[in-house]
Chains A and B, each alone.
Chain A
Amino acid sequence: MNLSFSAEDEAFRQEVRAWLDEHMVGDFARIRGRGGLGDMDAFVDERIAWERELAGGGWTCLGWPTEYGGRGASLFEEVIFYEEYARAGAPGRVGHVGEHLLGPTVIAHGSDAQKARFLPGIVAGTDLWCQGYSEPNAGSDLANLSTRAELRDGRWHLTGQKVWTSLAEQAQWCFALCKTDPTAAKKHHGITCLLVPMDQPGVSIVPIKQITGSSEFAEVFFEDAVTDKDNVVGPIHGGWRVAMGTLAVERGASTLGQQLAFVGEFDRIVAAAKETGAASNPLIRDRIADLHMRLKVMRLNAMRTLSAHAADRELSREASIVKLYWSVWHRDLGELAMDVLGESSAICDPRYEELHRLFLWTRSDTIYAGTNQIQRNLIAQRALGMPR
C-alpha cells in the first residue's frame, strides 16, 4: 500500500498549480470560488471567458484521447487536476456538461463526422451543452420519457418537454433523449439520442426558480424543433444504451477529485463556528469531528477506487457508492452550516450568505444524477447481487 502519487504525477500537479496561479488573476480572481453548484447562474460571462482561458492552456477535456483534442491524461492526472482546481478556488465550470457528459458519449458512440464537428468546440470552450434527459413524467424512470422525434424531409422534428435542464439558457446545444418508436414492445427500446441546436424558433426555455432563489435549471419546450438527420448519437431507437453510458460517467471520475472543494467549505464552517461561539458546544464539536473524519475517508475511498480502476477506468460499480457517500456527507454539512450559526441562523446575514446557500443547495445532491434511493437499488442489485 502506498498513498503517494508518483514523481511524474507530482510534477504534473506542480504544472497545474503553477498555471492556475498564473492565470487566476484580474477578472478571474474576482470570481474565485463562484459559479459552483448552487451558484451556477453567477458570473456566467466571466466563466465563459474562463473556459476559453482554460482551453488556451490545454486544460479542458484532459482525459480525452489526444486525437480528439484532449491530453490523454490518466485517471490519476485527472483527479490531480480537479484537486488543484478546487484548491485554487477556480470558478465553477460552465463547460462541464460538454466535457464530461456529451463529449465522452460522442467519443464512445458517435460517428467520425460527429467527432470532427462537435468535439473541437468543447475542447476550445466555445460550445456549451445541456443534457435533456429528464421530463415531467420521466425522472428516476427515465425510460418513460415521451418527447417525440420524427424523421421528415431529411430532418428530425421534436415535440415535447424536458425539465430540470441545467444551463439550458447558456447552452448552444442540447443532447436530448427522444421517443422515436412509440410502438416498441419495451419502453426503453424506441429511444434515440439527438443533438439539437438550442437557438431556433422551435425551442423555448423557461427558467425555473429553485429553492435557492437562483435559476440553474429550466424547462425546455420543443415545438417542432428541428435538427439534421445526421445528428443522432448511436443507433436510431438505440439511445438507451447511449444514455446509460453517460450516466455512468456522470456518477464517476469527475467526482473523485471534488473532495478538496469540500475541504474549503468545511473550513469555512469551522471558521464560522469559532466566530459564533458554536465551537464550544460539545454537540457541535462532535459533529464537526464526525464530518471531518468522514471527509478524510471520502478521499481515501476515492484513492482506493482510483487504485483499483486506474487501468480499466471502469467505475460503474463504485460510482453509486461514491455518489451515495458524498451526497449524504454534503447534506450533513449543509445542516451543520445552519447549526453553527446558532439561534440567529435564519437571519440573512451577508457574512454567512454562502452557508445558507450550502444548506439549501445540498438538498439537490441526493436527487440529481440519480437519487439516493436509485443508487441504493444499484448497489444492492449490482454490487451485492441481491435479487430483483
Chain B
Amino acid sequence: MDFALSWEQTQLKEAAAGFLAALPSARDLLEGRGTLEDPAVWKRVAEEQGWPAILVPEEAGGFGFGQVELSVVFEEFGRTLTSCPLLGTAFATALLLECGDAQAQERWLGAIAAGEPAAVVWSGISAEEGPFGWTLEGQGVAVDGGMASLLVIVAPQGVFVLPADLADRTRVPHLDPTRPSVGVSVSAVPAERLTVDGLERARMRCESLLASEAVGAAEATLQLAVDYSRVRTQFGKPIGSFQAIQHICADMLLAVESARSAAWYAACAIDAGADDAREAARTAKAMACDALFHCAGQSIQVHGGIGFTWEHDCHLYFKRARSVMDLLGHPREHRAAVAQTLLGDA
C-alpha cells in the first residue's frame, strides 16, 4: 500500500510546475502578452518535455507511461489554466490508443508523439460508408482544438481520424477564455475509421484527465483565497482571522483533497485495468468538477469586490469550472450512470 506519488511522479510534477511557471500566465495571454496558442511553446512541450508522448506506446514512438503520469501533468496544467493544446491532444491520444489497431496507432499516435497537436469532436458529426470508404458529415466543436493538425471524430457509426485541414474550422467564442475552441464542419469528407471498440475506455481516460485538471484548478482557487485572506485587513484584522472565512476555506480544502483522492484512484484503476475503473473515472469526474465549481465560487466570495473584476484571476477559474462541468458528462449524468449500476432500472 502506497497511495502517494512515487519519487519519479513527484519529479514529473515538479518539472511540470516549473515549466508552466516560466510561461506567460493565463492573464498575460488574455491581455495580449504572448499568445494563447503558441506553436513555439507547444514545440517545447512536445520536444523538451515529451508530455504528448506519455500515453503513446513505445512501439508507436512514445514512452508508454501510464494514466497516473499524465494525470500528474494535468493537475499542474489545471493549476495554471493552461490548455496549450495538451488537453485536445490527450483526448485524441486516448481515443487512438483505445480504438486504434496497431497500424492506426503507429501512424496516428506516432504523429502525436512526434509533436502533432490533435483534438476531438465528441458529437454533432455522423459518418456514412460509401463505395470509396467512410465520409463524414456535420458540425461540432473541438475544445482546445485551435492548433490541431489531426482531428478525431466520435460519430454514432464509430470513431474516425482525419487531417484537420480537410475540415472547415472557425473560432467559437467560449465562456472559458483559456480554452481556445473551434467549430468543425465537414461535408462528404473522407476519414479513416478506427476498428477497435474502445470508446468507453477512452472516455474514462478523458474523464480522469479532466478530473485531475480540475483538482489542480480547485487547489489554485483555495491558494488564492488563503493568500488573500492573510493580506486583506478589515475591522483592523486580516479577514483570514474571521471564522466565517476560515470555515469557507476549511471546506474548500476538504473538497480539494477528496477530489484528489478520487482523481488519483481513477488513474490508478485505469492503469491497473481494475474492474471498478469505469466507476472510478465517473466518481473522479463528478467529484472534481463539483469541487472546482464550489471552490471557484467560494474564492470569489472570499475576495469580495475584487473577485468580481476582470482584472483578477478568480473569474477565469470560475469560468473554467462551469465549462468543464458539461464536458464529457455533467456530474449529475455520471451519478445517474452509477445509480443505474447500483439500482438497475427499479
Q: Which residue of A lies closest to B267 (CB)?
A: A1
Whether B339 and A288, one on each chain, are in contact in the complex, defined by CB atoms closer than 8 angstroms, is yes
Give CA–CA (A97, B339) in the complex, Å: 38
- Interface bits B142-173 vs A (CB < 8 Å: 1, else 0): 00000000000000000000000000000000
Give CA–CA (A371, B262) in the complex, Å: 26
Whether A386 and B246, one on each chain, are in contact in the complex, defined by CB atoms closer than 8 angstroms, is yes
Whether A293 and B254, one on each chain, are in contact in the complex, defined by CB atoms closer than 8 angstroms, is no
Whether B262 and A300, one on each chain, are in contact in the complex, defined by CB atoms closer than 8 angstroms, is yes
Whether A304 and B3, one on each chain, are in contact in the complex, defined by CB atoms closer than 8 angstroms, is yes
Residues 371-388 of A at the B interface (beta carbon under 8 Å):
373, 375-377, 379-381, 383-388
Whether B283 and A288, one on each chain, are in contact in the complex, defined by CB atoms closer than 8 angstroms, is no
Q: Which residue of B lies closest to A373 (CB)?
A: B247
Q: Which residue of B lies closest to A300 (CB)?
A: B261
Residues 308-348 of A at the B interface (beta carbon under 8 Å):
308, 310, 321, 324-325
Whether A325 and B250, one on each chain, are in contact in the complex, defined by CB atoms closer than 8 angstroms, is no
Chain B residues contacting A290 (CB-CB under 8 Å) are 335
Decide: A307 near B253, CB < 8 A? Known: A282-B336, A297-B262, A386-B230: no
Chain A residues contacting B343 (CB-CB under 8 Å) are 270, 273-274, 279, 285, 288
Chain B residues contacting A301 (CB-CB under 8 Å) are 257-258, 261
* B6 touches which of A1, A286, A385, A387 (Cβ 8 Å): A1
Whether B2 and A293, one on each chain, are in contact in the complex, defined by CB atoms closer than 8 angstroms, is no
| Contact-residue size bin, chain B (C-beta under 8 Å from the other chain) | 35 or more
Chain A residues contacting B261 (CB-CB under 8 Å) are 297, 300-301, 303-304
A164 at the interface (CB under 8 A from B): no
Whether A1 and B2, one on each chain, are in contact in the complex, defined by CB atoms closer than 8 angstroms, is yes
Chain A residues contacting B345 (CB-CB under 8 Å) are 280
Whether B246 and A289, one on each chain, are in contact in the complex, defined by CB atoms closer than 8 angstroms, is no
Give CA–CA (A4, B1) in the complex, Å: 5
A185 at the interface (CB under 8 A from B): no
Give CA–CA (A340, B4) in the complex, Å: 37
Give the A-B pair count, Cβ closer than 8 A: 150
Q: Which residue of B lies closest to A4 (CB)?
A: B1
B5 at the interface (CB under 8 A from A): yes
- Interface bits B249-277 vs A (CB < 8 Å: 1, else 0): 11101100110011011011000000000
In the assembled complex, the CB of A92 is this many whole angstroms from the nearest CB of chain B, namely 27
Give CA–CA (A385, B338) in the complex, Å: 37
B240 at the interface (CB under 8 A from A): yes
Chain A residues contacting B4 (CB-CB under 8 Å) are 1, 304, 307-308
Chain B residues contacting A380 (CB-CB under 8 Å) are 240, 246-247, 249-250
Whether A307 and B241, one on each chain, are in contact in the complex, defined by CB atoms closer than 8 angstroms, is no
Chain B residues contacting A293 (CB-CB under 8 Å) are 262, 282-283, 286-287, 335, 338
Give CA–CA (A27, B5) in the complex, Å: 47
Chain A residues contacting B230 (CB-CB under 8 Å) are 386-387
A2 at the interface (CB under 8 A from B): yes
Whether A307 and B286, one on each chain, are in contact in the complex, defined by CB atoms closer than 8 angstroms, is no
- Interface bits A276-302 vs B (CB < 8 Å: 1, else 0): 010110100110111011101100110
* B342 touches which of A5, A288, A387 (Cβ 8 Å): A288
* A289 touches which of B250, B253, B267, B336 (Cβ 8 Å): B336
Decide: A321 near B268, CB < 8 A? Known: A273-B343, A292-B342, A373-B247: no
Q: Which residue of B lies closest to A298 (CB)?
A: B258
Whether A289 and B335, one on each chain, are in contact in the complex, defined by CB atoms closer than 8 angstroms, is yes
A9 at the interface (CB under 8 A from B): yes
A76 at the interface (CB under 8 A from B): yes
A20 at the interface (CB under 8 A from B): no
In the assembled complex, the CB of B309 is this many whole angstroms from the nearest CB of chain A, namely 24
* A280 touches which of B226, B283, B346 (Cβ 8 Å): B346
18 more A-B contacts (CB under 8 A) besides A9-B1, A297-B265, A301-B261?
A4-B1, A5-B1, A279-B346, A286-B332, A288-B339, A288-B343, A297-B258, A304-B3, A304-B264, A307-B1, A324-B250, A324-B254, A373-B247, A377-B243, A384-B250, A386-B230, A386-B241, A387-B240
The 5 closest A-B pairs by CB, nearest first: A380-B246, A289-B335, A285-B339, A279-B346, A300-B261
6 A-B pairs in the complex with CB atoms less than 8 angstroms apart: A2-B3, A9-B1, A280-B345, A293-B283, A377-B246, A387-B241
